[in-house]
């Protein structure tokens, strides 16, 4: 039985897109990472200005990368409500493809260049 907590412990500073990608590269199936806490849609929306422009742009990149990783089958994305209008955004590592035609780092670099 898996006794690990659902939300992986991490520092309170914002997670960068690069740190998220590095976690994906080393994560084993079932590992969990809370990559944001708040309300992602509002936290990235300029009109509400909860964050400075630079932090908001980095968070938008992180959110887009998390969604991309889910589309690639690298992670499952889940949310846990932690309060009123506050959620923990969690990535759960999936098994890596066994017969990958390209390495994960090549895939990540290609996606970065296309963006």
| Residues 69-84: tens digit of each pLDDT | 999 999 999 999 999 9
Flag whether 10 is in a domain.
no
Flag whether 9 is in a domain.
no
Domain that includes residue 103, residue range? 17-114
Q: What is the pLDDT of residues 23-41, one digit of tens each?
A: 999 999 999 999 999 898 8
Flag whether 84 is in a domain.
yes
pTM, full prediction? 0.73
Q: Strand locations in the chain, DSSP E?
A: 32-38, 75-83, 86-93
Domain count for the chain, please give it.
1
Which of these, 88, 60, 77, lies nearest to 24 by C-alpha position? 77
Flag whether 1 is in a domain.
no
CA distance 113 to 94: 24
């Amino acid at each position: 039985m898996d006794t690990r907590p659902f939300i992986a412990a991490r520092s309170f500073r914002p997670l960068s897109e690069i740190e998220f990608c590095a976690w994906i590269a080393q994560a084993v199936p079932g590992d969990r990472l809370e990559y944001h806490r708040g309300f992602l849609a509002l936290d990235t929306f300029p009109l509400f200005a909860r964050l400075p422009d630079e932090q908001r742009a980095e968070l938008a990149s992180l959110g887009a990368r998390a969604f991309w990783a889910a589309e690639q089958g690298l992670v499952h994305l889940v949310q846990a409500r932690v309060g009123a209008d506050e959620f923990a955004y969690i990535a759960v590592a999936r098994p890596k493809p066994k017969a990958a035609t390209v390495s994960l780092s090549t895939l990540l670099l290609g996606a970065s260049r296309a963006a």
